[in-house]
Chain A
Amino acid sequence: MPINHYLFLSLALFSIGVAGVLARRNALIVFMCIELMLNAVNLLLVAFSRMHNAAAVALDPASTVGAEAQILVFFIMVVAAAEVTVGLAIIVMMYRNIHSVDINFLNRLKH
């Protein structure tokens, strides 16, 4: 497949995530949309890794060009897992205090 198909696929997924963050009020769904955006970026990184690797392996079969991008995707997943635990703990605490997951109630933070 040409690289621009993957480019447009991850752009579409990222934009769906942005639209979801802006259009929904449930904090859990906003959080899930952020996960979707992270995954769109991961998909694009893997596609670029494959693009560079295919070009390098054609010259040298033992080449490891492009492996850095996959390591980066691995670290993004690690950080996302840590982020989800803290974020869900914050949402649970918010639900315990205001009995709702509506992000519009969070404007109470300012007073």
Chain B
Amino acid sequence: MNTSQMLFWFLTALSILSALMMVTSRNPVHSVLWLILVFFSISGHYILMNAQFLAVVNMIVYAGAIMVLFLFVIMLMNTKADAEPRHANRMRLAGTLAGGSLLLVLVAALRETELRGISLEGPEGDIGLVARLGSILFTEYVVPFELSSVLFLSAMVGAVIIGRKN
């Protein structure tokens, strides 16, 4: 087992464990912190797959900006962990069973897929680097890129309008 395989299994265990802790922990602040750990381990997977730009963007946008926004909202609400709304045990069991059966069906359907065994290891290109992705983004995909700025503007205006006091 070489280093990248060891890193893969470590990051996989870390991401699945933190995702489980995120779903099961009672306190929303703990959930946010576990989710940040999931995002960091997914960034590690991106680095292993030679997608450095996406790893950094994932860390800055998700683990940095979005999760801090969540923490601010939780602080603003000042909810108590013991007043946390919970489903009846029956409903939680049903939700867990539904998620588990979805996993079971998907794994059973994809277990014998044609892609099985194709290795991701091989010669490493430079498509994950900022220079290459940036030149593709600003030549072939420049219209969607500019449209996303309009999307951001409308999201910003929408958030302000929804969030203001009447």
Chain A residues whose C-beta falls within 8 Å of the C-beta of B165 in the assembled complex: 96
Q: Are A85 and B57 in contact (CB under 8 A)?
A: no
Question: Which chain B residues (22-81) contact chain A, with CB distance < 8 Å?
Answer: 22-23, 28, 31-32, 35, 38-39, 42, 45-46, 48-51, 53-54, 57-58, 61-62, 65-66, 69-70, 73-74, 76-77, 79
B23 pairs with A3, CB closer than 8 A: no
* Complex interface: chain A residues within 8 A of B152 (CB): 78, 81-82
Chain B residues contacting A78 (CB-CB under 8 Å) are 148, 151-152
Proximity bits, A1-42, B CB within 8 Å = 1, else 0: 111111111011101111111111110110111011001001
Q: Is the interface of B mostly helix, strand, loop or mixed?
A: helix
A1 touches B99 (CB 8 A): no
* Given A77-B61, A92-B76, residue A13 in contact with residue B19 (CB < 8 A): yes
Report how many A-B pairs have Cβ atoms within 8 Å: 256
Question: Taking the nearest CB of chain B, how far is it from the CB of A57, in angstroms?
Answer: 4
Interface size grouping (class) on chain B: 35 or more
Q: How far is the CA of A85 from the CA of B113 in the complex (A)?
A: 38
Q: Are A64 and B99 in contact (CB under 8 A)?
A: no
Task: Identify A50's interface contact among B50, B61, B94, B162, CB under 8 A.
Answer: B50
Of A3, A25, A57, A80, which is within 8 A of B87 by CB?
A: A25
- Interface readout for B109-139 with A: 1 if CB under 8 Å, 0 if not? 0100101111111111101100011001100
Neighbouring B residues of A84 by C-beta, 8 Å: 66, 69-70
Asked if residues A66 and B127 are in contact (CB atoms below 8 Å), the reply is: yes
| Residue in B77, B118, B124, B127 whose beta carbon sits within 8 Å of that of A101 in the complex | B77
Contact B151 A50 (CB under 8 A): no
A91 touches B73 (CB 8 A): yes
Contact with B along A40-61 (1 / 0, CB 8 A): 0011001101110111111001
Extra A-B contacts (5), CB below 8 Å, given A67-B127, A82-B152: A13-B15, A19-B100, A32-B70, A64-B125, A73-B54
Q: List 29 A-B contacts (CB under 8 A).
A: A1-B119, A4-B110, A13-B19, A16-B16, A18-B99, A18-B102, A19-B99, A20-B23, A22-B96, A23-B95, A25-B85, A25-B86, A35-B35, A36-B35, A39-B58, A43-B46, A47-B49, A47-B120, A50-B51, A51-B120, A53-B50, A54-B122, A74-B57, A80-B66, A81-B66, A82-B155, A85-B155, A86-B162, A103-B85
